[in-house]
Structure 1
Amino acid sequence: MKTINRMPVIDCDVHNQFRSGKDLVPYLDEPWRSHAAKFGIPGAGLPYSSPIGNKRKDADPPNGGPVGSDPLYMLEHYVEPFNVEYALLCSDSVIGASGFADADYTAAICRAYNDYLIAEWLPQSPKYKGYMCIGTQDPQQAAREIDRIGPHPGIVAVSVTGGSQMPYGQRFFHPIYETCERHGLPLVIHPGSEGAGIFNAPTAVGYVSNYLQWHTCLSQTFMAHLVSFVCEGVFEKYPNFKVVLCEGGVAWLPPLLWRLDKNYKALRSSVPWLKRLPSEYVRDHCFITTQPIEEPANLKHLAAMFEMFDAENMLLFSSDYPHWDFDDPTKILRWLPEDKQRKIFSENARKLFQL
């Protein structure tokens, strides 16, 4: 097989999914097994439909299964040709499970998915590593699941969706972060169900009318969670805890941090637990993935934006394979010096995920 990329890649957002919801049935306990066997895996129900679908048309497996459901074809079609050293798997199938109202059913689905991932995906290649899934409705159950699965050598992070009923820095969620820190696992926040199920509306002013607006406004979710993490003192309380903001854009970060730093100087009495500027916590604890990177017509504008935050040390390459907005690692960011490319395409992720 011909390799078309000379630079090693650690892809921090590769989407796998089931052939069908029945794939999880063997991994579920009763009564959830019977429920899933009869009715399938429940989802939050995103209220928007993409007019172009959500996949690359050339990524359909030859066996006729859904895109992203065949681990061997994914190796053949993407991982091997593009010199992907590690493909970090983020489930398409259960990413929105926390939008389902039944916290116990959600926890069961996440347990089953994690066992399925370890049994049926990770053994297919040493290049596959996994993000385990948890439900956020019940942080105590989520913490127990991290304790159960976190020690597995193929699990490199804990994934949650951006949709939520409250910002993620709030104390309700802290048992999750304490357990992540204890196992050395970053928390990966990925979009996909904002505005669905029991989650809040996808923008600060309510529901938008179509997928274009929803997709464009996803950055609002990441801004709110990031400010919450900092201002609620999460990074003071858990000094070794790391967060990855995945698939929410990049260019919004510097002006948000300018505003937060400026406001902190006048309003710091409301957050007396903070000992440093907010931007310093973000630089030391947070990472952001490249896809979907904002690429203006004049790349000098993007280069200037990169200079406004520690881009070479905070960015992680992601392709979003096999989705419609896939970023080809042979094409994006090739205007950067090679030493910075290597950090973004592999070395930052290697260090963060201890690969």
Structure 2
Amino acid sequence: MIEKLKIIDCDVHNSLRSYRDLLPYLAEPWRTRVEQAGLGLMFSGYYTPVGVGRKDAVPPGGGAVGSDPDFVAKQLLDPYNVEYGILTSNLFSISVGHDPDFAAALSSAYNDYMLEAWVGKNSRYKGSLLVSFLDPQLAAREIDRLGPHPGIVQVVMSSATRMPLGQRFYHPIYEAAARHGLPIAIHPGAEGAGQSNPPSAAGYPTWYIEWHTNLSQNFMAQLTSIICEGVFEKFPGLKFVFIEGGIAWLPHLMWRLDKNYTALRSQVPWLKKMPSAYIRDHCYFTTQPIEEPDNPKHLKAIFEMFDAEHVLMYSSDYPHWDFDAPDQILRWLAPEAREKIFYANAKKLYNL
């Protein structure tokens, strides 16, 4: 029965109640800066008529949605039989600012807060180690500091960048993650903000609906860069998780990249196999926001094209407006495939 299936939710957005939650974890001069001016994060600025959070996800005591670990457990973990919720934060904008030292300080403070206030309070929460890639050496230092913590299961950073994520600038982060056996997750939210590139290949759109739809373009570019720059040849044990970027585009990208590789492989001589093979061996993708056509057979065919049963993992995106409840999506999946996508793939990847 769908209702009895154990779940691992790979995208649970835990929020701060207030920026003041981070003050006890900040050293000077960052503590005074935050106390006087807040976090100073940059956002894309696109207005959404439905807001960002679910209206029913506001904690009983008030505050931001997703800011009360007990209420999140009551609203998400308990009713949906979620064995583990992978915390992904809401602070991806730290990587599109201009001060690498401040960004690193914020990431460290958040990580300490998350481990104490969330993971330390409920063993069903597992943490994603938030890093800023403005200074990869500082990010690597943070991974070495907390990567061995049993409550940490991956490294997470923004998918909004000023240069593609495969480039050697970022490799100290990947080396550190590989050293600790942690996957790298990328997550959208800051595209078009600060010093990041425009949120679409054509530039800056007008409306949030365009911004949100175009996120897949960025994920396609990042995945192509990671493959072509040889990240998985350099770090053969490294895995990547692509969160909240869609999935229906994946077969097209695999086919096009393989086709181009057959003629242009001299440009990337470090690749030892077809690009699609690296994707199948090293990359995972999360379900939300799932593209569900009117005819389920069409999505089923796409799933078969990229072997979804082995590379796809369930995510709810709680507590955001487009939350996907596990008992409402992909109901047509065979029981074996459902068990892998909603539970077993994540359990294996995260060693849970």
Q: Which TM-score band applies after superposition, normalised by the shorter structure?
A: over 0.9
Question: Corresponding residue for 1:29?
Answer: 27
How many residue pairs match? The answer is 352
Question: Corresponding residue for 1:75?
Answer: 73
Question: Corresponding residue for 1:89?
Answer: 87
Given that 1:44 and 1:198 are in contact with CA atoms closer than 8 Å, whether structure 2 keeps it comes out as: no
Given that 1:159 and 1:187 are in contact with CA atoms closer than 8 Å, whether structure 2 keeps it comes out as: yes
2:304 to 280, 304, 307: 307
Alpha-carbon distance in structure 2 between the residues aligned to 1:257 and 1:153: 35
Question: Corresponding residue for 2:129?
Answer: 132
Question: Corresponding residue for 1:54?
Answer: 52
Task: Write the letter of the residue equivalent to 1:53.
Answer: G
- Please tell me whether residue 199 in structure 1 is matched to residue 186 in structure 2: no
- Please tell me whether residue 166 in structure 1 is matched to residue 163 in structure 2: yes
TM-score, with length taken from structure 2: 0.99
Given that 1:320 and 1:326 are in contact with CA atoms closer than 8 Å, whether structure 2 keeps it comes out as: yes
Alpha-carbon distance in structure 2 between the residues aligned to 1:309 and 1:18: 37
1:201 CA drift (Å)? 0.7
1:103 to 95, 100, 103: 100
Q: Secondary structure at the match of 1:13?
A: strand
1:56 CA drift (Å)? 1.1
Question: Corresponding residue for 2:138?
Answer: 141
Given that 1:254 and 1:305 are in contact with CA atoms closer than 8 Å, whether structure 2 keeps it comes out as: yes
Question: Corresponding residue for 1:341?
Answer: 338
Question: Corresponding residue for 1:325?
Answer: 322
- Please tell me whether residue 223 in structure 1 is matched to residue 220 in structure 2: yes
Task: Write the letter of the residue equivalent to 1:127.
Answer: R
Question: Corresponding residue for 1:210?
Answer: 207
Task: Write the letter of the residue equivalent to 2:295.
Answer: N
1:5 CA drift (Å)? 2.6
Alpha-carbon distance in structure 2 between the residues aligned to 1:342 and 1:181: 27
1:121 to 108, 118, 122: 118
RMSD over aligned CA atoms reads 1.0
- Please tell me whether residue 293 in structure 1 is matched to residue 290 in structure 2: yes
1:221 CA drift (Å)? 0.7
Gaps of 5+ in 2: none
Q: Secondary structure at the match of 2:3?
A: coil
Task: Write the letter of the residue equivalent to 1:200.
Answer: N
Greater mean alpha carbon deviation, residues 42-51 or residues 82-91? 42-51
Alpha-carbon distance in structure 1 between the residues aligned to 2:63 and 2:213: 30
1:44 CA drift (Å)? 1.6
Question: Corresponding residue for 2:175?
Answer: 178
Alpha-carbon distance in structure 2 between the residues aligned to 1:327 and 1:45: 24
- Please tell me whether residue 188 in structure 1 is matched to residue 185 in structure 2: yes
